[in-house]
A and B are shown apart, each in its own frame.
Chain A
Amino acid sequence: MSYTLSEHESKRLLADAGLPVPEERLAADAAAAARAADALGYPVALKLCGRGIAHKTERGLVRLGLADPEAVRREAEDLLGLRRAGEESAQVLVGRMAGGSRELIAGLVRDPQFGPCVMLGLGGIFAEALGDVAFALAPLDPPDAEDLIGALQHAHLLDAFRGEPPVDRAALARLLVALGEVAAARPEIRSIDLNPLRIVDARPVVLDALVELEDGA
């Protein structure tokens, strides 16, 4: 069996591997959440964050676009009240709202026949419904990563789009290469989801992440 790291732990692991993760803070209570928001700048997003917590949107554990300390305190209090049995140690993750609109999904999976594979797809909430994804064996070199980007059916969405500049493909390729390197460096990792991978100012940023580890790792 396996278990998942918290979003915050997942992101720290990915940041250490060189992936672009936004600055975020964990807060144990409402007052700490408001202090974190003050320090990061408004508006902010709050999420309940703890091991084994997945499907946050479905459970109503994400609060977006909070513009002042009062709203942050209120929503943080509410989120902490939604902890279930076994989630007592969960905290509130405070991050600044990110710009941009285009969302990708990237990930790592260990295929039973081919071993570690990196995935890239059109993402966010529509990822599985669209199914526009492509895979490459890990580790990948930069040309492999470029090829993976080009393999998306709708790769043209990465061009200039509705007033946003074209995606920095080299930055996206570096992210994919780094993700592939994680597979070799951390054999205990069973899978990784970066979803969404938001394009902010042309570059990919990991807005949410889930790292799944083998039990006993």
Chain B
Amino acid sequence: MSDVLERLSPLFRPRGIVLAGVSSHPGKFGAVAFHNLLRFGFAGPIFPIKPDGAEVFGRPTLSEVSQVPDGAADLAFLCTPAKLNAGLLRACAAKGVRAAYVASGGYAEAGEDGRELERELVETAEELGVALAGPNGQGIVSTPVSMCAQIVAPYPPPGPLSMVSQSGNVGSSFMNYGCLTGVGYSKGISCGNAAQLEVAEFIEYYAEDPDTLATLVYLEGLEDGRRFAEVARAHALRKPLVVLRGGATRQGQRAASSHTGALASDDAVFDGVCRLAGAVRAASVEEAYEAAAAFATQPLPRGPRTLIVTAAGGWGVLTADACVRAGLELIELPDDLRRRIDGMVPSRWSGGNPIDLAGGETRDTIPEVLDLAAAHPEVDAVIYLGIGIQAAQANQFRSGPYYPDHGLDRIVDFHERQDGRYAQAASEASELHGKPVLVATDLALTDRDYGNSGPLGVQRSGRIVWPSGHRAVRTLSQMLRYSRWLSHRST
């Protein structure tokens, strides 16, 4: 096992957890963390510490750390007042704890006294050889061991993503998108004040972690920019890294007696750092999440040649514009592909790219067209628009006053089955031909309550649905940039 995997293993894959600061008041951090660990079924023993030893959530607690069996826990999760934590760390280490997450506030964020307590905490951790995350952080999630060691929601479904965030709430947002779309997380951590373990260490860990296929990072500031650049590059050479940065438009206090100095904004320099490191920059939480989810679930495009398949005209037109603006190549529809489609649908179809079948499709047309599109040697990527419109009408039929009479029951079944098949066909074509097929529809947002079989089918295939063609195009251009960086760097 590599050094970083070994060192951070008790943080992400603890055998047992000492939880200090457990309270009988469900509004307190310690009670919330205890609840969340129990609620999601952490796969190991939990040793809640409460000075009076009283039951919490019907479970006994220990009044002192000294009552924890030797070697039974390797992670301490501390929600206790800051001034107690260095002592608790010592008591935990004596029991075999090798990592600690400090959720408590009252440290560097709280002024000079807090800074002193933070220094003492770090010194203690270093003396004991304990890996220290936090303080003043939201917590850790690790789905392989069913661990939700957090003082807030959410707990995302298991999945191929991991995240590290310098803001607890942005970390929650990253994970909430996992809850929304179903493409979930292996691990997530909020760095808090990052007194000892910083973003760079977690990037290194995720680069090595076999459960992580793509990593999301939220950053505001960096102690050591060069180290970040190095670990980001090493990560990107192995797997995709998506970076969202806050404070990017803040004007640096820079002496600018040169043109170069005046032009060297934080944002411009950081852009250069990411470009060279192969880290994909995103401008918003949703953009970052969508890029990471695509990286983790779809093949990379080998080039810019994009083909759009759409169920209706306007979406295709808008998405075609977006492709061109994003620097993707909206190819001329290859002749052989045109002839194949000519043989499948009435002549009113678009005859070009976007492929708009203009309602002329029959039972098997869309699955066949998706397969032909992804298979074609002149196509690097496919964007499929408009899934779910049949199932959306089916829902109107089903919920209206005429159902199930007048033949509505049969058509409802047919429509719902069809959209489910289209979702499956998109994912199968993508996997079979090793090319990205991005499915976009706003029904992903509007039709969640009843589960439209189109977007729901995409989710069942383990992928995300983009809520618009523009957002799919944005992701595709990020995938292309990373793919180019990778091929440039590995030759």
When chains A and B are docked, how far (Å) is the Cα of A131 from the Cα of B264? 10
User: Which residues of A, 191-217, contact B by the 8 Å Cβ criterion?
Assistant: 191-193, 195, 210, 212
Q: Which residues of A contact B272 (CB under 8 A)?
A: 117, 134-137, 148, 151
Inter-chain contact A109/B260, CB cutoff 8 Å: yes
Once A134-B271, A148-B272 are accepted as A-B contacts, the answer to whether A212 and B257 lie under 8 Å apart by CB is yes
Q: Is B273 part of the binding interface, using a Cβ–Cβ cutoff of 8 Å?
A: yes
Inter-chain contact A133/B268, CB cutoff 8 Å: yes
Inter-chain contact B261/A109, CB cutoff 8 Å: yes
Q: Is A107 part of the binding interface, using a Cβ–Cβ cutoff of 8 Å?
A: yes
User: Which residues of A, 71-129, contact B by the 8 Å Cβ criterion?
Assistant: 105-109, 111-115, 117, 119, 121, 127-128
Inter-chain contact B257/A2, CB cutoff 8 Å: yes
Inter-chain contact B259/A193, CB cutoff 8 Å: yes
**Least Cβ–Cβ distance between B200 and chain A, in angstroms:** 13
Inter-chain contact B269/A111, CB cutoff 8 Å: yes
When chains A and B are docked, how far (Å) is the Cα of A193 from the Cα of B259? 6
Q: Is A6 part of the binding interface, using a Cβ–Cβ cutoff of 8 Å?
A: no
Interface centre among B263, B268, B273, B276 (most CB of A within 10 A): B263
Q: Which residues of B contact A210 (CB under 8 A)?
A: 258
When chains A and B are docked, how far (Å) is the Cα of A108 from the Cα of B261? 8
What interface size band does chain A fall in?
A: 35 or more
Q: Which residues of B contact A105 (CB under 8 A)?
A: 259-260, 263
When chains A and B are docked, how far (Å) is the Cα of A107 from the Cα of B264? 10
Q: Is B406 part of the binding interface, using a Cβ–Cβ cutoff of 8 Å?
A: no
Q: Which residues of A contact B489 (CB under 8 A)?
A: 143
Inter-chain contact B260/A193, CB cutoff 8 Å: yes
Inter-chain contact B264/A195, CB cutoff 8 Å: no
Q: Which residues of B contact A9 (CB under 8 A)?
A: none
**Least Cβ–Cβ distance between A139 and chain B, in angstroms:** 12
Q: Is B252 part of the binding interface, using a Cβ–Cβ cutoff of 8 Å?
A: yes
Q: Is B262 part of the binding interface, using a Cβ–Cβ cutoff of 8 Å?
A: yes
**Least Cβ–Cβ distance between A83 and chain B, in angstroms:** 21
Q: Is A144 part of the binding interface, using a Cβ–Cβ cutoff of 8 Å?
A: yes
Inter-chain contact B260/A191, CB cutoff 8 Å: yes
**Least Cβ–Cβ distance between A197 and chain B, in angstroms:** 12
Q: Which residues of A contact B229 (CB under 8 A)?
A: 114, 137
Inter-chain contact B226/A115, CB cutoff 8 Å: yes
Q: Is B222 part of the binding interface, using a Cβ–Cβ cutoff of 8 Å?
A: yes
**Least Cβ–Cβ distance between B250 and chain A, in angstroms:** 12
Inter-chain contact B225/A133, CB cutoff 8 Å: no
Count the B residues whose beta carbon is within 8 Å of the partner chain — how many? 27
Inter-chain contact B275/A151, CB cutoff 8 Å: yes
Once A135-B268, A135-B272, A137-B272 are accepted as A-B contacts, the answer to whether A111 and B258 lie under 8 Å apart by CB is no
**Least Cβ–Cβ distance between A80 and chain B, in angstroms:** 25
Inter-chain contact B257/A133, CB cutoff 8 Å: no
Q: Which residues of B contact A107 (CB under 8 A)?
A: 258-261, 263
**Least Cβ–Cβ distance between A217 and chain B, in angstroms:** 15
Interface centre among A2, A115, A136, A191 (most CB of B within 10 A): A191
When chains A and B are docked, how far (Å) is the Cα of A82 from the Cα of B272? 41
Q: Is B363 part of the binding interface, using a Cβ–Cβ cutoff of 8 Å?
A: no
Q: Is A68 part of the binding interface, using a Cβ–Cβ cutoff of 8 Å?
A: no
Q: Which residues of B contact A212 (CB under 8 A)?
A: 257-258
Q: Is B255 part of the binding interface, using a Cβ–Cβ cutoff of 8 Å?
A: yes
Q: Is B25 part of the binding interface, using a Cβ–Cβ cutoff of 8 Å?
A: no
Inter-chain contact B263/A117, CB cutoff 8 Å: no
Q: Is A147 part of the binding interface, using a Cβ–Cβ cutoff of 8 Å?
A: yes
Closest to B263 in A: A133
Q: Which residues of B contact A127 (CB under 8 A)?
A: 259, 263
**Least Cβ–Cβ distance between B304 and chain A, in angstroms:** 14
Inter-chain contact A111/B263, CB cutoff 8 Å: no
* From A2, A4, A106, A111, contact of B264 by CB (8 A): A111
**Least Cβ–Cβ distance between B398 and chain A, in angstroms:** 51
When chains A and B are docked, how far (Å) is the Cα of A212 from the Cα of B258? 8
**Least Cβ–Cβ distance between B413 and chain A, in angstroms:** 52
Q: Which residues of A contact B339 (CB under 8 A)?
A: none
Q: Which residues of A contact B271 (CB under 8 A)?
A: 134-135
When chains A and B are docked, how far (Å) is the Cα of A184 from the Cα of B243? 28
Q: Is B488 part of the binding interface, using a Cβ–Cβ cutoff of 8 Å?
A: yes
Once A136-B276, A137-B226 are accepted as A-B contacts, the answer to whether A109 and B268 lie under 8 Å apart by CB is no
Q: Which residues of B contact A4 (CB under 8 A)?
A: 257
When chains A and B are docked, how far (Å) is the Cα of A121 from the Cα of B262? 13
**Least Cβ–Cβ distance between B170 and chain A, in angstroms:** 20
User: Which residues of A, 1-45, contact B by the 8 Å Cβ criterion?
Assistant: 2, 4
**Least Cβ–Cβ distance between A151 and chain B, in angstroms:** 6
When chains A and B are docked, how far (Å) is the Cα of A113 from the Cα of B266? 9
Q: Which residues of A contact B275 (CB under 8 A)?
A: 134, 136, 147, 151
When chains A and B are docked, how far (Å) is the Cα of A127 from the Cα of B262? 10
Q: Which residues of A contact B269 (CB under 8 A)?
A: 111, 113-114, 117, 135
Inter-chain contact A143/B268, CB cutoff 8 Å: no
Q: Which residues of B contact A128 (CB under 8 A)?
A: 259, 262-263
**Least Cβ–Cβ distance between B224 and chain A, in angstroms:** 8
Q: Which residues of B contact A193 (CB under 8 A)?
A: 258-260
Closest to A107 in B: B260
User: Which residues of B, 239-285, contact A by the 8 Å Cβ criterion?
Assistant: 252, 254-255, 257-264, 266, 268-273, 275-276
Once A148-B272, A192-B258 are accepted as A-B contacts, the answer to whether A113 and B263 lie under 8 Å apart by CB is no
When chains A and B are docked, how far (Å) is the Cα of A4 from the Cα of B255? 13
When chains A and B are docked, how far (Å) is the Cα of A136 from the Cα of B233? 13
When chains A and B are docked, how far (Å) is the Cα of A4 from the Cα of B271? 28
Give me 17 other A-B pairs in contact (C-beta within 8 A), A114-B226, A135-B273 excluded: A107-B260, A107-B263, A109-B261, A113-B225, A113-B269, A115-B226, A119-B260, A119-B264, A121-B263, A127-B263, A136-B276, A137-B273, A137-B276, A191-B257, A191-B261, A193-B260, A210-B258
Q: What are 17 pairs between A and B in contact, CB < 8 Å? A: A113-B222, A114-B226, A128-B259, A128-B262, A133-B268, A134-B268, A135-B271, A136-B272, A137-B226, A137-B229, A137-B273, A143-B488, A147-B488, A151-B272, A191-B257, A191-B258, A193-B259
- 4 residue pairs, one from A and one from B, having the closest CB atoms: A107-B260, A135-B272, A113-B225, A114-B225
Residues of A within 8 A of B (CB): 2, 4, 54, 105-109, 111-115, 117, 119, 121, 127-128, 131, 133-137, 143-144, 147-148, 151, 191-193, 195, 210, 212
